[in-house]
Copies of this chain bind each other. A is one copy, B any other.
């Protein structure tokens, strides 16, 4: 019985934390938010140099050949420091898609370049202002080429490649696209958290490589998302923990009516509730990490459970951290709002809370919990 990370994994996490602290990732996030940069190139390069982009990539492709658990601890730290880099898009989604669904040829071509940083990837699925479903994908795939438009693609400004969900007369498929070729137009779309840029991408007769087959693309997409949800959840609990820590520190230091505001039950119990939500989420993440790392049969429900509780925890912690900070909390100057924004971004990037609740209950129906 050991629902905990190994000493090596904990060491990796500790190192990641020290690195991001030293690099002042939080300040870098603010800098990206306040300028027209859509990510922090310097930090990204350092992350690449540390090998994090290759954690899950087999050694034969120059990666570290480690497991999902190592990725989880890194994700938690990136979440804690709001690192303004395309890690989730490129590593949790794009890289995993290549590892899971790429042919040997594709892997040989792409994976080493993900390790070296030459390639940065993302996933493009949404086409309009609705949750993507099997039925509202219209971007067309025919004769080896795609035509159409994707919107709200995170990190596409820096990405060199994308996995694109497309539709042919046979069904839904996943398409690997080089974004540097003619026919691809990437345009910035303003969003609520500019520390992670969002973009539309238009494809005009663009050649692609098929990942998997032309029929079961939607199932591959769902499976990819179910895995990625665990990693997103780790980012979310990292952010929740940081928000809670900020609130605790402020509550100890800020005085009102002659005593620290943390001595008032209104604040104490608020923080206790944040701690409770975070603890539940964290424990669910641990289980989901195990399920992910062992490809357990209950991964769909385990990842949805982690995702739902991590989303709830981060929403609660980031908003009540603002509230605990009082007037300072809703200034631009304090960091609180950066966590509030990121909590929303992470909760939407792979689908909303209500849709993940729906996925969870659907998976319970399928597995028949009682």
A interface residue numbers (CB < 8 A to B): 264-266, 269
| Residues of B close to A264: CB separation below 8 A | 265
A265 contacts which chain B residues (CB < 8 A)? 264-266, 269
* Cα A264 to Cα B269 with chains together (Å): 12
A266 — which chain B residues lie within 8 A by C-beta? 265-266, 269
Nearest 5 Cβ contacts at the A-B interface: A265-B265, A265-B266, A264-B265, A266-B269, A265-B269
A18 CB, min distance to chain B CBs, angstroms:
39
Chain B min CB distance to A145 (Å): 45
Nearest chain B CB to A24 CB, angstrom units: 37
Q: How far is B37's CA from A110's CA once the two chains are assembled, in angstroms?
A: 81
Chain B residue numbers with a CB within 8 Å of A269 are 265-266
> 6 A-B pairs, CB-CB below 8 angstroms?
A264-B265, A265-B265, A265-B266, A265-B269, A266-B266, A266-B269
- Bound complex: CA A265 to CA B265 (Å): 5
CB distance from A272 to the nearest CB of B (A): 10
Nearest CB in chain B: distance from A346 CB, A: 30
Chain B minimum-CB-distance residue to A267 = B265
CA distance A264 to B263 in the complex (A): 11
- Complex alpha-carbon distance, A231 and B72, angstroms: 57
Alpha-carbon distance A223/B367, docked complex (angstroms): 44
CB distance from A324 to the nearest CB of B (A): 14
Minimal beta-carbon separation of A349 from chain B (angstroms)? 31
A277–B265 Cα distance when bound, in Å, is 21
Bound together, the chains give a CA A266 to CA B271 distance in angstroms of 13
Q: How far is the CB of A260 from chain B (nearest CB, A)?
A: 14
Per the bound structure, the CA–CA distance linking A265 and B269 in Å amounts to 9
Q: How far is the CA of A266 from the CA of B273 in the complex (A)?
A: 13
Q: Which residue of chain B is the closest to A264 with respect to CB atoms?
A: B265
Question: Separation in Å of the A265 CB from the closest CB of chain B?
Answer: 4
Report the Cα distance A269→B265, complex, angstroms.
9
CB distance from A333 to the nearest CB of B (A): 28
The docked-state distance in angstroms from the alpha carbon of A200 to that of B269 is 47
A266 CA to B272 CA in the complex, in Å?
A: 12
Q: Considering only CB atoms, which chain B residue lies closest to A269 in the complex?
A: B266
The smallest beta-carbon distance between A271 and chain B, in angstroms, is 13
Give the shortest distance, in Å, between A257 (CB) and chain B (any CB): 12
Please measure, in the bound complex, the distance between the C-alpha atom of A264 and the C-alpha atom of B267, giving whole angstroms.
Answer: 12
Residue in B closest to A266 when the chains form the complex, CB atoms: B265
Q: What's the least CB distance linking A275 to chain B, in Å?
A: 16
**CA of A264 to CA of B265 in the docked complex: distance in angstroms?**
7
